[in-house]
Structure 1
Amino acid sequence: MELRQLHYFVKVARKQHVTQAAEELHVAQSAVSRQIHQLEEELGVDLFQQKGRNLQLTPVGKLFLTRVEGILADLQRSVHEIHEFLDPELGEIRLGFPHSLGIHLIPSVVSQFRKNHPNVKFRFKQGMYNTLLKDVMEGEVDLAFISPSPDKHEFVTSEHMLTEELFAIMPSNHPLAGCESIRLDQLKDESFVLFREGYSLRPIVWNACLKAGFTPIIGFEGEETDTIRGLVAAGMGVSLLPGMALFETSSLQPVKVKVSEPNVTRSIGVIRRSNEDLPLVADVFHKFLLDYFKELK
């Protein structure tokens, strides 16, 4: 079985037509037909069946296509990794992060890194806490910012980067909007705008309210910091958000007030797969992150 046969097979399977596949491969139609025939003879099965003027995969052909596409993708990744090894400045970093860090932190970190590594590419993927863990474990991303930073995990290694304060936010006409700081229990009778279940900021806010002696009244739930901030600014309730999520992105902005009691913070870390070396370009970025956040402390 030759690699050329696998490429021809995938192309015919996608085009469902030998002539069209041959045109895209820039080879003779007879060469494509011959390679497919030899592949079927070696496997001892029919991979295609005629349907009108087109070719259709047989059930076993569909199974074979799934496996072959995976093999060719792994091969392409291997070639890419070799190129990265030879020149990490031409590599790509696959980075995951929660939405709340995409407003300010990620753009700041990436722009700073690219000052000295202008040719490095980034592929970003946003997600919730459990999604980011899964993406790292399954190799969808090389590194992921995550909050809270897990203390121990069987499959990922976590390194703490920074601790961020959360502020109370409220409409500009709220009675407490002019205060320099407040106690969280001063909001016990207010309607809260919270992230829905599954977002890491929700339990942080919920537990802070419990610590202050009350259970928050949920008025609205959202999935993005822009939504939370906008609903609060529009007078739909109050909430708590980290400072990095409060950079102005529209004319409608809530007022932020420091919470003096209890002190509400979130930890932010970077995770990677345990017992596995990072691709060279991702390792360069990882070392940059350690230095970058060390200087901020």
Structure 2
Amino acid sequence: MELRQLQYFVKVARKQHVTQAAEEMHVAQSAVSRQIHQLEEELGVQLFVQKGRNLQLTSVGKLFLCRVEGILTDLERAVNEIHEYLDPEKGEIRVGFPHSLGIYLLPTLIASFRKHYPNVTFRLRQGTYNSLIRDVMKGEIDLAFISPFPEKHSHVTGDLLLQEELYAIVPQGHVLAESKTIRLEQLKEDSFVMFSEEYSLRSIVLEACSKAGFVPRIGFEGEETDTIRGLVAAGMGVSLLPEMALTEISVLQPVKVRVVEPQVTRSVGMIQRTGEKLPLVAEVFRKFLLDFMATKYLKGEDTE
């Protein structure tokens, strides 16, 4: 059994398509098919079944995938540890993040960190709340920015970074656009532009509306803060967004208004796998992050 066979197997399992897997790995489709066939012959089992144009894992294929992913993750970690041992400031940090934190916070942190550690590289993965926790648990990323911060979780632990305020956003010309502050119930007759169900900001907004005594009427849904902001600016409804998601200025811009009743916030944190020591370079980044948040970001100092 060869390492290449295992790598091809995992890629095909994730893509559910030999051609797409081959294109992503920049190899011939026939080479991928041949390696998968040899792997199945060596194991004496069928790992995939054809379903339409896609390949699906068999029951034993799913079992094998879980083990192989762990093996490849451990191997990758071992290679990284060797590189870190030779030069701790030349490692790679695997970081996950939700879209709303990738607009301002993450780029600001990485830019500041790389001024001190210019040879460190980052592998970034965007995801939802549940997918980020899953990726940390599986060891596919070292650290993940996450919101809301899971105070108690069996498999991940971490550090609370900040509590961020959410603002109401309304179109230009809205009856409340000139207000300095509003009560959330003042938006109960408006149509809301909401995040899709898998995004944690949706549940935060729904809970806030519940506290204000109403169920929001959802007119449109989106998956990124840019989409939500643009739809509101276009007059398609109102919404609530974190302050960090409103830093970018575009041609089509909604009006942000502070909500005072109830005040709406979200917790933002950084998580890692419970009971596992971080790679050296990731631990350096984690400590830098905590110092940065305590001494610069939260105090609004210049990050240069």
**Secondary structure, in 3 states, of the residue corresponding to 2:256?**
strand
Contact conserved, 1:192 with 1:220, CA < 8 A, in 2?
yes
Matches within 5 A, 1:60-99: 60-61=41-42, 74-99=74-99
- Report the counterpart of residue 272 of structure 1 in structure 2: 272
Matches within 5 A, 1:1-297: 6=2, 57=38, 59-61=40-42, 74-295=74-295, 296=298
Contact conserved, 2:163 with 2:266, CA < 8 A, in 1?
yes
Aligned-residue CA RMSD in angstroms? Answer: 2.8
User: 2-side partners of 1:115 and 1:68: how far apart?
Assistant: 37
Counterpart amino acid of residue 138 in structure 2: E
TM superposition shift of 1:7: 6.4
**Secondary structure, in 3 states, of the residue corresponding to 1:275?**
coil
Counterpart amino acid of residue 219 in structure 1: G
Query: Which of 1 and 2 has greater Rg?
Result: 1
CA distance 1:189–1:9, shift in 2 (3 Å): closer
Contact conserved, 1:183 with 1:259, CA < 8 A, in 2?
yes
**Secondary structure, in 3 states, of the residue corresponding to 1:175?**
coil
**Secondary structure, in 3 states, of the residue corresponding to 1:197?**
coil
TM superposition shift of 1:56: 5.8
- Could you state the TM-score of these two structures normalised by the residue count of structure 1? 0.78
Please, which moves more after superposition, 117-126 or 248-257?
248-257
TM superposition shift of 1:188: 0.8
CA distance 1:275–1:73, shift in 2 (3 Å): closer
- Could you state the TM-score of these two structures normalised by the residue count of structure 2? 0.76
User: 2-side partners of 1:235 and 1:156: how far apart?
Assistant: 40
**Secondary structure, in 3 states, of the residue corresponding to 2:237?**
coil
- Report the counterpart of residue 22 of structure 1 in structure 2: none
Counterpart amino acid of residue 57 in structure 1: Q
Deviations 1:123-145 (A, max 9, x none): 00011100000000000100001
Deviations 1:27-86 (A, max 9, x none): xxxxxxxxxxxxxxxxxxxxxxxx9xx996263237799888975774454132111133
Counterpart amino acid of residue 191 in structure 2: S
**Secondary structure, in 3 states, of the residue corresponding to 1:57?**
helix
User: 2-side partners of 1:69 and 1:134: how far apart?
Assistant: 13
Please, which moves more after superposition, 69-78 or 111-120?
69-78
Contact conserved, 1:97 with 1:145, CA < 8 A, in 2?
yes
**Secondary structure, in 3 states, of the residue corresponding to 1:60?**
helix
User: 1-side partners of 2:159 and 2:36: how far apart?
Assistant: 52
User: 2-side partners of 1:95 and 1:175: how far apart?
Assistant: 42
Please, which moves more after superposition, 74-83 or 121-130?
74-83
Unaligned 5+ residue runs, structure 1?
A: 14-50
**Secondary structure, in 3 states, of the residue corresponding to 2:277?**
coil
CA distance 1:63–1:179, shift in 2 (3 Å): farther
CA distance 1:74–1:159, shift in 2 (3 Å): closer
TM superposition shift of 1:168: 0.5
Contact conserved, 1:6 with 1:68, CA < 8 A, in 2?
no
**Secondary structure, in 3 states, of the residue corresponding to 1:115?**
helix
Please, which moves more after superposition, 73-82 or 227-236?
73-82
Deviations 1:168-214 (A, max 9, x none): 00101101101111111111100000101111101111111111111
**Secondary structure, in 3 states, of the residue corresponding to 2:192?**
strand
CA distance 1:190–1:63, shift in 2 (3 Å): farther
CA distance 1:8–1:110, shift in 2 (3 Å): closer
CA distance 1:120–1:187, shift in 2 (3 Å): same
CA distance 1:218–1:60, shift in 2 (3 Å): same
TM superposition shift of 1:253: 0.8
Contact conserved, 2:167 with 2:241, CA < 8 A, in 1?
yes
Contact conserved, 2:160 with 2:267, CA < 8 A, in 1?
yes
Counterpart amino acid of residue 202 in structure 1: R
